[in-house]
A = this chain, B = another copy of it.
């Protein structure tokens, strides 16, 4: 990346950490063997693959046997939804992958509150005796709002208990896509109380096209890709050894530095937020400010054209998003901002600023100055 660039879109993509790439390197041209081959070097490659899966499992407090390595969060989400055929419950502010997978089922989308929180009570009200899956992201990818997954898990637990006592064997699982939160939040599956977990290496300084789906032992997964029977028959195809080793290293690093990094990013984010709110008192902060990812800042400048600001910022080397990358690409207003009831003239002036490894005191101070200058200019232009 150009040294002049100040990257503030860590929620969309992250660069591979040098330590992660170093861990992957041996598997490109040296230990390149097919892990299913019988000779010793391939058996060693398989062992390194299994060790990487064990490391991944350990960092989420799970067993390696309950992981399926996939080509990313979208595939994991599709695999999670394929485990059920009945009614599903999700929220209207989920990532497009969850929305699309949910729509293949009979689905109820719960609305969030004005701060983007999906309450356990609303989930409870949406669950019917036929509901088989509830899917809520740990943290919303646009707002950074952290959802009350433990409370939702408790609702699920009680409904399961009710069904058990009633002799009703309809399964009910809780799935959470924690791709967006994994660098800054605890993703221990037992503490979260979930049954299915999706993670994505590309959001945590690991390689692209690697993800995992963890499923509790009682969950019966149905493969979406059949073939050679890899991953216990749940996801066929030659194993991605380099990618999985890189993913494990990335998750281990995230785990080791989570507290430190979250504190660091929160301080930087709060400083930038204060600078912008002080300069533009009319600015609207979205999301739940108490329960929010440390590096996330969603801020709207009423009556401003965020896309114009984005390009003005880009000209000065500051890269931010107007919404999630997928939605932005389609030129439509964010479904998340619509769902939390942001007025169109506020929503259209929204920037999503997400800090991460590439952020430091200097770059954030410089970005703050440039943001204030460019937004001031744009306000001046638009009110002329």
Chain A positions near chain B (C-beta within 8 angstroms):
1-2, 5, 9, 12-18, 21, 28-34, 36-42, 71-75, 77-78, 95-98, 100-101, 104, 202, 207-210, 224-229, 236-243, 307, 310-311, 314, 319-322, 325-326, 328-330
Complex Cα gap A210–B72 (Å):
13
Complex Cα gap A326–B230 (Å):
9
Contact of A242 with B33 in the complex, beta carbons under 8 Å? no
Contact of A101 with B226 in the complex, beta carbons under 8 Å? yes
Q: Within 8 Å CB of A31, what residues of B?
A: 1
Q: Within 8 Å CB of A325, what residues of B?
A: 34, 36-38, 42, 238
Chain B residue with the shortest CB-CB distance to A9: B37
Contact of A238 with B310 in the complex, beta carbons under 8 Å? no
User: Per DSSP, are chain A's interface residues mostly helix, strand or loop, or mixed?
Assistant: loop
Contact of B328 with A37 in the complex, beta carbons under 8 Å? yes
Chain B residue with the shortest CB-CB distance to A40: B314
Within 8 Å by CB of A100, from B18, B101, B104, B227, lies: B227
Complex Cα gap A61–B72 (Å):
30
Contact of A96 with B33 in the complex, beta carbons under 8 Å? no
Complex Cα gap A17–B29 (Å):
7
Complex Cα gap A242–B208 (Å):
8
Contact of B74 with A225 in the complex, beta carbons under 8 Å? yes
Q: Within 8 Å CB of A97, what residues of B?
A: 226-228, 236-237
Contact of A36 with B328 in the complex, beta carbons under 8 Å? yes
9 further contact pairs, Cβ within 8 A, besides A38-B310, A42-B325, A78-B225: A2-B41, A9-B34, A12-B34, A15-B28, A21-B29, A39-B320, A74-B227, A97-B227, A100-B226
Within 8 Å by CB of A15, from B16, B29, B71, lies: B29
Complex Cα gap A14–B236 (Å):
19
Contact of A209 with B100 in the complex, beta carbons under 8 Å? no
Contact of A310 with B39 in the complex, beta carbons under 8 Å? yes
Q: A97-B236, A225-B75 are in contact. Are A241 and B38 (CB under 8 A)?
A: no
Q: Within 8 Å CB of A314, what residues of B?
A: 39-40
- Copies of this chain, tallied across the complex: 2
Contact of A96 with B37 in the complex, beta carbons under 8 Å? no
Contact of A101 with B227 in the complex, beta carbons under 8 Å? yes
Within 8 Å by CB of A228, from B241, B322, B326, lies: B326
Contact of B326 with A36 in the complex, beta carbons under 8 Å? yes
Q: Within 8 Å CB of A17, what residues of B?
A: 29
Chain B residue with the shortest CB-CB distance to A322: B38
Contact of B321 with A37 in the complex, beta carbons under 8 Å? yes
Complex Cα gap A294–B12 (Å):
45
Chain B residue with the shortest CB-CB distance to A240: B209
Complex Cα gap A56–B39 (Å):
33
* Nearest chain B CB to A90 CB, angstrom units: 13
Q: Within 8 Å CB of A243, what residues of B?
A: 208-209
* Nearest chain B CB to A195 CB, angstrom units: 21
Among A202, A225, A307, A329, max chain B CB count under 10 A is at A225
Q: Within 8 Å CB of A98, what residues of B?
A: 227
* Nearest chain B CB to A371 CB, angstrom units: 14
Within 8 Å by CB of A236, from B1, B32, B74, B329, lies: B74
* Nearest chain B CB to A321 CB, angstrom units: 6
Q: A41-B1, A41-B2 are in contact. Are A237 and B33 (CB under 8 A)?
A: no
Complex Cα gap A202–B42 (Å):
15
